[in-house]
Amino acid sequence: MSALDDLPPLREVIRRHDLSAKKSLGQNFLLDLNLTARIARAGGPLDGITVVEIGPGPGGLTRALIACGARRVIAVERDSRAIAALEEIAAHYPGRLTVVPGDALNVDLATCLDDGPARIVANLPYNIATALLVRWLATEPWPPWFDMMVLMFQREVAERIVATPGEKPYGRLAVLAGWRTHAKIMFDVAPSAFVPPPKVTSSVVRLVPRAAPLPCTRSTLERVTAAAFGQRRKMLRQSLRALGVDPALLLAATGIDGAVRAEEIPVEGFVALANALDAASTPSQDGAGEGKPA
């Protein structure tokens, strides 16, 4: 692809705005227009959709999102050097790009939105990628304000998101992601596609929110997976002790074998354990605190 738009080439934008990549901001820029368009379209057509992009940098993916039909892009960027470059794109596409200077960890994205479907698409800064994902997966209420997330991670993180029971990367992140979304690795991106190239391969992951995840309290589910995977080599009847409730009660209530390890338990099993923990922690009507440790 020779050009998505008639804006200046990204290399020129980077040079003009002195956007030499900063490692501290996780800056690995994408300059390949075929690749940015492929990422923009990885979740399907963008027509009529408001896209939230975290870390637009010089704006390669931003330009692809707009050129591929996004109704509007809201782009949150922490690097003040990039803001002027992004404002040039905003001027080129009146009303279609809103640049939000600041730290994505402190911006309440939902308040930036207007009506209509919204999607998160980003080549995330790797140092905060998992923290951002966990935050989006913890959105309340659920279903969330976004119809989909299309996110670039280091391959190792992507594997932890989509892992299934019995696989080595299966852990807390896979349970949370699997509980609330259908997550899939769409394609890998070689280090050579970035400027500067990172040390490892990256992957684009698509996460589609489940309309109705199995019912349970998210914070309880997170407590259960923290206990179970906190000692992942131990059997559940041992690791679940960290919850402060007799594991035998939880195991009996769910029919789960106490001799298995966390890595073998599917999402439904953790949801059942979370519900059993809530039930065991709720005082019975006579206030006896049934199920609480002695």
**Near ligand SAM by CB under 6 A: residue from 4, 76, 89, 249:** 76
Size of the site for ligand SAM (CB under 6 A): 23
97 binds ligand SAM, rule: CB under 6 A: no
Q: Which is nearer to ligand SAM, 61 or 228 (CB)?
A: 61
Residues 204/150, Cβ–Cβ less than 8 Å: yes
CA torsion, points 271, 159, 108, 105, in degrees to nearest 10? 120
Residue burial 232-247, b: 16+ Cβ < 10 Å; e: rest:
eeeebbebbebbebbb
Residue 216 phi, psi dihedral angles, 5° rounding: -170, 165
Options 23-31, 40-48, 243-251, 265-273: segment touching ligand SAM (CB under 6 A):
23-31
Q: Which is nearer to ligand SAM, 37 or 128 (CB)?
A: 128
What the block records as the tokens of 224 is 């259960």
125 binds ligand SAM, rule: CB under 6 A: yes
55 binds ligand SAM, rule: CB under 6 A: yes
Query: Counting beta carbons within 10 angstroms of the beta carbon of residue 202, is it exposed (0 to 12), middle (13 to 18) or buried (19 or more)?
Result: buried
30 binds ligand SAM, rule: CB under 6 A: yes
CB of 125 vs ligand SAM, minimal distance in Å? 3
77 binds ligand SAM, rule: CB under 6 A: yes
Q: Which is nearer to ligand SAM, 74 or 173 (CB)?
A: 74
Options 28-36, 154-162, 227-235, 266-274: segment touching ligand SAM (CB under 6 A):
28-36
**Near ligand SAM by CB under 6 A: residue from 70, 90, 104, 249:** 104
- Which residues make up the interface to ligand SAM (CB under 6 A)? 25-30, 54-57, 60-61, 76-79, 82, 103-105, 123, 125, 128
